[in-house]
């Protein structure tokens, strides 16, 4: 039966990957449940878009500070050690959130503190996650395994918010947090069940971490394709992706739909992303991907402008679903193009820079968008962010031929 699934079937033929995939699927659903719960609790405590932005900033900002150093710990104790410790810490954090909400002792400052703690743990875990996959499947099945992980993530973004919305409406956000703790325990068990060789740290000359980071940054900025692409990552992550962190405010104030509407809007985003991910996976070729990635930005700006102009829930779901699809086209396209263009000796540093911007940008974007929304309402700040993104798109559109040549040709190594 697995042979009928082609490359996906080959990835699933490896027992380690099947165990990891199942545990990770549950964990990702729980993560999205908790994200919705945190946003809703922040909104209930403050009724302020600015505070929503601050909470989102606390979650995402540690990526900017921690990502540079996280790989050092992965090299010292191995990806499995980091991953297991991360799951234990996330269980403790989720249970603490559940207890505080259940007893009515939660306040906005405790919420920010626990969210920042979670963001820091996640920032350390991400390099471990990326380093772990090659130990689960052989090189020839890596592409399929990565594609499955992307589909897994977006399915969780579809399922998790819907479950969270129902749990919050039925009994409160504490049940979403408690359920998330259970999913982390399940993932920890799956990590324990993995049968991989013990980690052996590499021995060699010690080099300055900061000098290596600087070398990678200079390479990225000077590359004719990667440099402009990173400008787009900065703009889209800051101006467009921050909108998802303010979704509780849109659900309650714009659409008057409460937690159920929040779950529906976030699930619609995930559904759009899944469709786009399947299309990109079936497409296969990197040729023409630069153009697709750029047009994804313009599509996101148009759909978000339409989202800002409506207060009808079903139309909001439609437009935010299109936004999810176009942003995934842009995000996956840019990541694939960078992987295709960067040389092997620079890959870790350049992709680390990409991840830092991709995760950190929404933190600053949500902070700015939340503050502006408190001052000018939810509609116009979002339209302004779309206008800035269109200007960045136009700047890169003029450089498309040169960018496509540099990004799509590959390195040959």
What confidence score (pLDDT) does residue 206 get?
63
- Percent of the chain past pLDDT 90, that is, above it, reads 24
Question: What is the per-residue pLDDT for 14?
Answer: 84
Q: Are 231 and 293 in contact (CB under 8 A)?
A: no
Residue 201 lies in a domain: no
CA-closest candidate to residue 382, choices 312, 322, 317, 300:
300
Residues 6 or more apart whose CB falls under 8 angstroms from that of 125 comprise 82, 83, 86
* Spatial distance between the Cα atoms of 73 and 24, rounded to a whole number of angstroms: 21
- Verify that 179 and 258 share a domain, yes or no: no
Number of neighbouring beta carbons within 10 Å of residue 74:
23
For residues 223 and 89, give the distance between their C-alpha atoms in angstroms, rounded to a whole number.
Answer: 39
Last residue of a domain, one of 145, 170, 195: 195
Spatial contact of 60 and 360, defined as CB atoms under 8 Å apart: yes
The dihedral sign for the CA sequence 358, 318, 153, 367: positive
CA torsion sign for 73, 74, 76, 79 is positive
Q: For residue 202, tell me if it sits in a domain.
A: no
Query: Higher model confidence: residue 241 or residue 207?
Result: 241
Surface-to-core class of residue 384, CB atoms within 10 Å of its CB (0-12 exposed, 13-18 middle, 19+ buried): middle
| Structural domain contains residue 200 | no
What pLDDT score does 205 carry?
Answer: 55
Cβ atoms 324, 276 nearer than 8 A: yes
User: Rounded CA gap, 173 and 102, in Å?
Assistant: 8
- Say yes or no: 295 and 344 in one domain: yes
Q: What does residue 52 show for φ and ψ, rounded to 5 degrees?
A: -60, -40
pLDDT digits (tens, 9 = 90+) for 111-165: 999 999 998 898 878 777 766 776 787 756 666 676 677 778 878 877 888 888 8
- Domain end position, chosen among 161, 195, 229: 195
pLDDT at position 275 is 85
CATH number, position 64: 1.20.1250.20
- Say what the pLDDT of residue 150 is: 74
Q: Quick one: pLDDT at residue 204? A: 53
Domain that holds residue 286: 207-413
Longest distance between any two alpha carbons in the chain, whole Å: 61
pLDDT of residue 183: 94
The number of distinct structural domains making up the chain is 2
| Least confident interval from 58-67, 109-118, 348-357 | 348-357
Quick: pLDDT tens for 83-118.
889 899 999 999 999 999 999 899 999 999 999 999
- Choose the final residue of a domain: 136, 171, 195: 195
Same domain, 185 and 97: yes
**365 with 256, same domain?**
yes
Same domain, 187 and 112: yes
Residue 357 lies in a domain: yes
Q: Does a structural domain hold residue 6?
A: yes
138 falls within a domain = yes
Same domain, 176 and 243: no
pLDDT in tens, 263-281: 788 888 878 888 887 777 6
Q: pLDDT (tens digit, 9 = 90+) per residue, 302-340? A: 999 999 988 899 999 999 999 999 988 888 778 777 767
Is pLDDT of 347 > 70? no
CA 147 – CA 280 distance, rounded (Å): 10
25 versus 350: the higher-pLDDT residue is: 25
Looking at residue 320, what is its pLDDT?
93
**Considering the chain, what is the average pLDDT of its residues?**
82
Above pLDDT 70, what percent of the chain?
A: 86
113 assigned to some structural domain: yes
Close Cβ partners of 120 (under 8 Å, ≥ 6 residues apart): 62, 66
pLDDT at position 189, please? 93
Segment among 159-163, 174-178, 182-186, 385-389 with least mean pLDDT: 159-163
């Amino acid at each position: 039966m697995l042979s009928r699934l082609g490359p996906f079937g080959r990835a699933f033929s490896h027992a380690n990957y099947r165990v990891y995939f199942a545990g990770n699927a549950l964990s990702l659903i729980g993560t999205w449940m908790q994200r919705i719960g945190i946003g809703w609790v922040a909104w209930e405590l403050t009724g302020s878009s600015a505070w929503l932005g601050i909470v989102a900033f606390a979650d995402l900002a540690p990526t900017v500070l921690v990502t540079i150093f996280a790989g050092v710990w992965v090299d010292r104790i191995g990806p499995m050690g980091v991953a297991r410790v991360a799951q234990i810490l996330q269980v403790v954090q989720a249970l603490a959130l559940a207890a505080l909400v259940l007893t009515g002792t939660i306040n906005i400052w405790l919420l920010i503190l626990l969210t920042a703690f979670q963001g820091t743990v996640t920032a350390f875990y991400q390099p471990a996650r990326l380093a772990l996959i090659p130990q689960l499947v052989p090189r020839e099945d890596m592409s399929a395994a990565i594609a499955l992980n992307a589909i897994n993530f977006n399915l969780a973004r579809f399922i998790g918010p819907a479950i969270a919305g129902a749990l919050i409406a039925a009994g409160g956000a504490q049940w979403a947090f408690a359920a998330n703790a259970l999913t982390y325990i399940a993932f920890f068990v799956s990590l324990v069940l993995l049968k991989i060789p013990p980690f052996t740290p590499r021995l060699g000359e010690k080099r300055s971490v900061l000098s290596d980071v600087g070398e990678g940054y200079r390479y990225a900025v000077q590359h004719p394709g990667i440099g402009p692409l990173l400008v787009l990552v900065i703009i889209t992550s800051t101006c467009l992706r921050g909108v998802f962190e303010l979704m509780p405010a849109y659900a309650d104030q714009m659409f008057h739909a409460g937690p159920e509407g929040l779950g529906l809007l976030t699930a619609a985003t995930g559904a759009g992303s899944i469709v786009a991910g399947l299309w990109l996976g079936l497409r296969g070729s990197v040729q023409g991907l630069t153009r697709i990635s750029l047009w994804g930005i313009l599509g996101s700006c148009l759909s978000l402008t339409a989202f800002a102009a409506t207060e009808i829930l079903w139309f909001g779901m439609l437009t935010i679903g299109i936004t999810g699809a176009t942003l995934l086209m842009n995000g996956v396209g840019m990541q694939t193009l960078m992987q295709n263009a960067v040389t092997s000796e620079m890959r870790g540093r350049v992709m680390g820079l990409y991840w830092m911007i991709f995760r950190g940008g929404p933190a600053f974007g949500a902070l700015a968008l939340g503050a502006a929304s408190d001052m000018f309402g939810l509609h116009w700040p979002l339209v302004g962010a779309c206008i800035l993104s269109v200007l960045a798109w136009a700047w890169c559109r003029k450089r498309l031929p040169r960018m496509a040549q540099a990004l799509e040709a590959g390195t040959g190594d």
